[in-house]
Amino acid sequence: MSSDGDRRIDQGKEPGLRLLRHTIANQRVALAIGTALVSLHQVMETLVPVAIGAIIDGPITSGDVPTLVVALAGLAALFVVLTYSWRFGARRLVAAIEAESHRLRVTVARRILDPRGVRTSLRIGELLAVATTDAGRAAQILHVVPATAAAITAVAGAAVALLLVDVPLGLLVLLGTPAILVALDRATPLLTRRMTAQQEAVARASGLATDLVTGLRPLRGLGAEPAAARRYREASADALAATLRATRAAGVYTGTSAAVSALLSVAVAGVAGWAALAGRISVGELITVVGLAQFVVEPLGTLAALPSSGAASRASADRLSLVLHAPPLLPAGTGTPSDGRLVLRGLGYRSLRGMDLTVAPGELLGVLAHRPQDAEALADVLSGQVPPEDVRGELTVGGVPLGALDPVAARRTVLAEPHHSDLFAGTLAGNITAGMCDPSGGIPPEVLRASAAGQVADTHPDGLDQRIVDRGSSLSGGQRQRVALARALARRAPVLVLHEPTTAVDAVTEQAVAEGIARVRHDGGEHTTVVITSSPALLAVADRVVVVDDGRIVAAGTHAELAATHPTYRAAVLR
């Protein structure tokens, strides 16, 4: 789908309704053809009892065999048209629904993965539900529209046929059907609210489940499994209650509509029987009326049930629009960094207060933060994922202010590898080369040595081709850290920010990694590296170390100088 089409989705005062209208317009050709064919199918269905009644009153009553043969041939042709109109119409509509489901999934995924980010309170699990389940439900509007048109065609055809047989019978259907639909339509807003609440509650439970599974190891380490399980039970109970309310409302609606539709059909059959006894209609016409009365139950039931399907599509469209309308986290800057120089002047963000720091191109800077919240705040702000309006003071990358940076150019210049890195399902090599501009040349051997990821490959018979599961849960914590570090080093980013990259590895490996980072990043190159850590091995290879406490830089120097002259530094590092 074109970007213009994406922009059209994101307009209007009722974005959910606008999205559904755009979905219909996007598949208008397939929808028109499919609707025409399934409506033709309903017309043929309506003509079946009419044709049977005409055959009974005509050639069967008169005993005209040749005419009977012709009539039966016409009835067979009617069934052929009926069958193939449904077959080809349904095929076009199903293809349109699947195409729109795919388009909506791609559109939402593109929005979620936009380099500028998306400002939303939805968790990862909720975003996943929106991009999958809600996209499919919203596309079901392409079923609601043709089903409504076909059902109306069927009811209108039956009413016309009944009018030709007996005017009171036709009027009963023509007047009764709108009355039923108007009465049932009053319940549609309630259904929409219940469906929306149910989808939101289920998405919250799914999002919480995703978060709990992701953080299962830390939860076990803290002994927090009971509290986490309690939170999920509460969220699951809320989702169950919302689902029961929505299902109860839909059940009452469907049962009531089915009962009323059946009563209308019974009324039509009863009036027809009375007319036959009075001699107003013939036996063939009576059979036609009874057949139509039985037939009309299905389209009436369809018309009664479609508001529930439409409510589900509308609720999902509203949730899709919530993501598509979410403002970006970062502005659409145009600046491109000239080099890897980082300058912080009076920087304030979360626990950071008035930090002044300059990191020169080619420098390997170590940062020791006495408080974990200071380390996390600094890592987050250097990642470029923080909206400029949340940052006080000034942060420039290569001479360009953070808010003026083009997000894509910023990603190419600054790579911030978080402390908790995610790996994806695939091979070990695929995870490492994922960030490389040109992975065709393979993984540089020096990257495997520097990160000690080569040891991870050597412990498995398949080496770099070994399969790992989603989030790398088949690897130990230290192995995941080494693979993530290899991925970061393989990117060759001008500026690399590492946050505690070696907390899960042994001391010998940590020393080798520290020396490897210095060798790969700073042997004759202009790469800038910022390592936020308390590791003495990493701090020892740094060109300069700054100490952060209470949100400010309180000391600076080499590792050896600080260890000799700064007691709090020595206590924090040389433990």
Amino acid at 361: P
Q: What is the mean pLDDT of residues 43-69?
A: 83
Cα–Cα distance, 97 to 146 (Å, whole number): 12
Per the structure block, which two tokens stand in for 345? 């002047």
Residue 222 has pLDDT above 60, yes or no: no
* pLDDT for position 550: 87
Pick 50 or 301 by higher pLDDT.
50
Distance CA 469, CA 183 (A): 53
Does 7 have pLDDT greater than 60?
Answer: no
Which of 176 and 511 is assigned the larger pLDDT?
A: 511
With cut-offs at 50, 70 and 90, classify the pLDDT of residue 92.
Answer: very high
d(Cα 110, Cα 104) in Å, to the nearest integer?
10
Kindly write down the DSSP assignment for every residue of 168-198, as one continuous string: HHHHHHHHHHHHHHHHHHTTHHHHHHHHHHH
Kindly report which listed range (173-182, 307-316, 561-570) carries the lowest average pLDDT score: 173-182
| CA nearest to 499, candidates 422, 417, 569, 556 | 417
464 token code pair: 């770099």
Round to the nearest angstrom and report the end-to-end CA distance of the chain. 58
Confidence check: pLDDT of 91 > 90: yes
Reading the block at residue 192, the tokens are 């929409």
User: The tokens 């195409």 sit on which residue?
Assistant: 99
The closest alpha carbon to 163, from 41, 50, 266, belongs to 50
pLDDT tens readout for residues 40-53 = 999 998 888 888 88
pTM over 0.75: no
120/570 Cα distance (integer angstroms): 42
pLDDT at 236: 80
**Nearest to 550, CA basis, from 367, 358, 354:** 354
| Angstrom distance (rounded) from CA 276 to CA 284 | 10
* DSSP character at residue 327: P
Q: Are 456 and 479 in contact (CB under 8 A)?
A: yes
Half-sphere exposure of 114 (CA within 13 A, CB side): 20
As a whole number, the mean pLDDT across the chain is 80
Class of residue 87 by CB neighbours under 10 A (exposed 0-12, middle 13-18, buried 19+): exposed
pLDDT of residue 1: 36
Q: What is the pLDDT of residue 4?
A: 39
The CA-based dihedral angle spanning residues 397, 403, 407, 411, taken in that order and rounded to the nearest 10 degrees: 30
- % of residues, the chain, pLDDT over 90: 15
Q: Where does residue 88 rank: exposed (0-12), middle (13-18), buried (19+ CB within 10 A)?
A: middle
Q: Higher confidence at residue 47 or residue 279?
A: 47
- Determine the average pLDDT of the residues in 103-125: 82
Most confident of 14-18, 154-158, 366-370, 428-432: 366-370
Q: What is the mean pLDDT of residues 6-12?
A: 40
